[in-house]
Amino acid sequence: MADPVMRVDDLNVWFEVPGGEVHPVRDVSFELQRGERLGLVGESGCGKTTVMLALMGLLPPNASVSGRVLIDGVDLLERGEVSIREHRWRDVAMVFQGAMNAFNPVRRIGAQLLEPMVFHGVEKGAAAKSRACELLELVGLPATRFESFPHELSGGQRQRAAIAMALACRPKVLLADEPTTALDVIVQAQVLDLLQQLSDDLGLSLLIVTHDLPIVASLCHRSVVMYAGQVAESGAALDLVRNPLHPYTRLLHAATPEIGGSGPIASIPGVPPRLDHPFPGCAFVDRCDVADDACASQQPQLLEIAQGRAVRCLHPEVHQ
Amino acid sequence: MTRYLLKRLAFAALTIFAALTVNFILFRALPGDAVSGLKCRQCTPEFKEAQRAALGLDQSLWQQYVLYLKGLLHGDLGNSWRPPHPTVWSQLWDPIKRTLPMILLGTVFSVVIGVSLGLLAAWRRGSMLDRTATGMSLAAYSMPTQWLALLMVLYLAGWLGLPTSGVKDPDLEIAQLLGDVGWWELFIDQLRHMILPALAIGIVFAGDYAIITRSALVETLSEDYVLTARAKGLSRWTVIRRHALPNAALPIVTLMALSLGTVVGGVLVVEYVFSYSGIGLTVVQAISERDYPVLQGAFLLLTVAVVFANLFADLLYPKLDPRVVLR
């Protein structure tokens, strides 16, 4: 299934900050196949949201970006803001982290659903309106929500409406940035089911950013684990959970609390490295439980261990 | 909603009552009265006493206050103390007709100038343009109105060829009496007399609008829904027009209602500089003559206007932001 709809090549992001430069995304590359669900996993501050925003060219003005983002072979970043604008929402749409606030509170849901369709000339007039109503029903909301204001919807409903809005222009790729963060567990499961069902039914390619490894394992085909702005490990989602190669993946999974479990919740000691200078060795060396002297001085490369399975570690935990 | 309105109206009545009481006391707290300033040959102490008695100034403050309230309840603002003692209402009505359009034009100027400046500053936040626009707003905000008005008389009036005093061209007034002048010419002439005073007020208050608009826009532009709007591919201007400006309308409308009182303060000095015989000039004259009924009448009208402007703004909020519920 070598039919990537989206390819990210050597994506780098720098932020100009007072007193220097921060490098939160370092040589990130991955492919998203057509109809595939890919999870981008990592703890807060590992650069996953920055990757998302970079894919849509939505980083703040103090950011600079290098690398390529190809959608069906077309480089979105080639000419900066100008070239990416026509692709936004048409080719790549997004469900935001703060989906509670993804809607402008003073405008009706319907108007905000219509907006991208009309702007990109996908539909107009009555056809656009009926499509908007269809979309609302598709995500499990009554079409009457077209006339509602955002504050009249619950958090889960708003998230559904945000998904409907993201589908408005029939995008090739849907980015979902922590789509379930602010929701309670039941609604969370419903929204995830919805995403899975939509991607199955519409053949939608989905890139989900989350810190929640179990979500990825249950929802995604493949996943990419990020640490300190780098890809630490990538492979089939279930594989990563059952057979982690990178110590970070293993520890991250171990840190997931279990229902009915007793005792303290496991955590990974230490803090991620500062991102304003290059790493002398492995980025994870200070927190790793199997690190040795080599890890402190030698930068591990991302190595493809098996088909579709890569890891950035000097001592990958291969269990035969 | 009806409940809310009734509550607000009751509160408005209370506010107006309190304000007119304070006004009543304040004017009388000034040393001297309408008679003490009289200087003429027949102004003997006996004559002055007779004058005081005629104006009711010989009664106690309390009696005067009760009389005043009684009159008000009958819709009677009283009579001017200046001979031939016309009613206060007739004294105020003509100046109001001249001042109101001037204030309106001034508000249009300040909103247009202020909102554009604030928009530019917020759009290019942190840039040279932002600093220039913010600096200009602060300068306008802190500028003494009368000083700006004088500068306009000195430099701008000649350059633009606009009249610097009065509300009407005297020649045109004569022509009007003779009946050979169209309403259009009269309208243009009055507009020309209005522009400079309105612009003076407009510029001074534009600073307020610019600062409010900038901070409101900067806040909305950092909201998630603005990021969503950009992600939709909308151009920057469309994002601001559809997703930031409507949200910033609330503080702007609030400022419009709140600034009405201060605008009238500005009108006082601006009309003085431009000899624009509106309500401001009437008030200045009434102060110098200690014409209490006219002063009380003018301030009562101002109070009513401010109170109702605020009520109107409050009623407008739910239209601007559906999350606002009045109760």
Domain boundaries, chain A: 4-91+171-312, 105-169
Which amino acid, one-letter code, is at B324? V
B320 touches chain A (CB under 8 A): yes
Facing A106 at nearest CB: one of B224, B232, B321: B321
Contact across the interface for A116 and B233, Cβ inside 8 Å: yes
Strands A205-210 and A37-41: parallel
Q: Is the ipTM of this complex over 0.95?
A: no
The rounded radius of gyration (Å) of the Cα atoms in chain B is 24
Contact across the interface for A56 and B231, Cβ inside 8 Å: yes
Interface test with A, best of B225, B250, B252 (most A CBs within 10 A): B225
With contact defined as beta carbons under 8 Å apart, do A129 and A115 qualify? no
What is the mean pLDDT, run by run of 10 residues, along chain B of 327 residues?
Answer: 89 92 85 73 79 80 87 84 83 90 93 93 88 91 90 89 82 78 84 92 92 92 89 89 90 87 86 90 87 88 90 89 84
Chain B residues with CB under 8 Å of A103 CB are 225, 228
- Give B2 to chain A, closest Cα distance, Å: 23
* Whether CATH 3.20.20.140 fits A4-91+171-312: no
Residue A319 pLDDT exceeds 60? no
- Give B252 to chain A, closest Cα distance, Å: 15
Give the list of residues 6+ apart from residue A39 with CB closer than 8 angstroms, or none: A208, A209, A210, A215, A216, A219, A220, A222, A223, A224, A237
What whole-number percentage of chain A has pLDDT above 90? 33
pLDDT value for B40: 73
pLDDT value for A2: 64
- Give B121 to chain A, closest Cα distance, Å: 16
The rounded radius of gyration (Å) of the Cα atoms in chain A is 20
HEC assignment per residue over chain B = CHHHHHHHHHHHHHHHHHHHHHHHHHHHHCCCCCCCCCCCCCCCHHHHHHHHHHHCCCCCHHHHHHHHHHHHHCCCCCECCCCCCCEHHHHHHHHHHHHHHHHHHHHHHHHHHHHHHHHHHHHCCCCHHHHHHHHHHHHHHHCCHHHHHHHHHHHHHHHHCCCCCCCCCHHHHHHHHHCCCCHHHHHHHHHHHHHHHHHHHHHHHHHHHHHHHHHHHHHHHCCHHHHHHHHCCCCHHHHHHHHCHHHHHHHHHHHHHHHHHHHHHHHHHHHHHCCCCCHHHHHHHHHHCCCHHHHHHHHHHHHHHHHHHHHHHHHHHHHHCCCCCCC
What's the average model confidence in pLDDT over A270-284? 86
Contact across the interface for B232 and A115, Cβ inside 8 Å: yes
Q: CA A132, CA A143: separation in Å to the nearest integer?
A: 8
| Tokens, residue B142 | 């802190």
Facing A104 at nearest CB: one of B230, B231, B243: B243
Domains in chain B, CATH or no CATH each: 93-320 (1.10.3720.10)
With contact defined as beta carbons under 8 Å apart, do A168 and A108 qualify? no
- Give A238 to chain B, closest Cα distance, Å: 32
B235 touches chain A (CB under 8 A): yes
- List the single residue in B with minimal CA-CA distance to A167: B232
Q: Kindly report the average pLDDT of chain A as a whole number.
A: 87
Contact across the interface for A105 and B321, Cβ inside 8 Å: yes
Contact across the interface for A103 and B225, Cβ inside 8 Å: yes
pLDDT value for B109: 95
Facing A102 at nearest CB: one of B224, B247, B323: B224
B296 touches chain A (CB under 8 A): no
What's the average model confidence in pLDDT over A268-294? 86
What's the average model confidence in pLDDT over A75-95? 83
Residue A211 pLDDT exceeds 70? yes
Distances (CA, A) of A193 to A186, A204, A249, A263: 11, 14, 25, 31
Binning pLDDT at 50, 70 and 90, where does residue A320 land? very low
Chain B residues with CB under 8 Å of A106 CB are 246-247, 320-323
pLDDT value for A99: 62
Contact across the interface for A88 and B225, Cβ inside 8 Å: no
Q: Of A74-88, A131-145, B185-199, B246-260, which range is least confident?
A: A74-88
Tracing tokens 């009108």 back to the chain, one arrives at: B267
